[in-house]
Amino acid sequence: MGSENDVSDASSAAGGGAPHVVGVDACPAGWVAVTLRDGRFAGADMDPALGALLARVRRLAGADAVVAVDMPLGLLEAGRRRADELALGRVAPHRSRVFPIPPRLVWEESDYDAANERCRRLTGSGLSRQSWGLVTKLREANACREGGERRLYEVHPEVSFAAMNGGRPVAWSKKSWNGQAQRRRLLGEQGIAVADELGPAGRVPPDDVLDAAAAAWSAHRIALGTAVSLPDPPETARDGLPVAIWY
């Protein structure tokens, strides 16, 4: 688990006073965060629990700091989300990189078979096991936002990387050497030089760190008021919160 010093030491090295933003991605050990200050890398952290990670980075980044997370936020009562349909267009032909997110009731089921059946009834098509694999962390992220994390925004790193790449999705898989090299180059062109040594966060798979950095890039754009939302304007969940992917 990372400590407050993992981020604060890197932030001190970058200089004081600039606004912080945070990008978060799910990883096998829980969640990984990359913090930027004034658009530049300022540190990384990880924690098994999203709530604990957010509490720690907010003590450093500030209570009002924008946090962008690579996880669906906001579930509709019926139908598919426009955000996912539009994101598919941004990453085509690599459509498998976006999971269409079914309505809220599907995610309230207790197991895959029940969720798949509910999804067929509500949308006319089934739920992939890959999509159902998001259930625990999807519930965790939405519980954080519904519990008061109003500065939490949904992003999709592949959409963000495509935007950095002139609107063209990265051709190589994020698991591949070529894919990771290209994504790191794109981040570097945006002024985000992820450190070679990340402390405990360095145990996280490289693609998850790069995804968190891309999420932080989008968070910086949100903070500046230059981000784009898919759709524009966002749809709205039953609690009145927006349903959109930002980049």
Domains of the chain as residue ranges with CATH: 4-73+141-231 (3.30.420), 100-132 (no CATH)
Task: Provide Rg for the chain, Cα atoms.
Answer: 17
Can you read off the two tokens belonging to residue 65?
Answer: 């700091």
Q: What is the pLDDT of residues 175-215, one digit of tens each?
A: 999 999 999 999 999 999 999 999 999 999 999 999 999 99
pLDDT given for residue 60 in this prediction: 86
Place of tokens 């700091």: 65
Mean of pLDDT over the chain: 92
* Residues sharing a CB contact under 8 Å with residue 226, sequence separation 6 or more, in sequence order: none
Q: What is the pLDDT of residues 101-154, one digit of tens each?
A: 999 999 999 999 999 999 999 999 999 999 999 999 999 999 999 998 889 999
Alpha carbon distance 96, 119 (integer Å) = 19
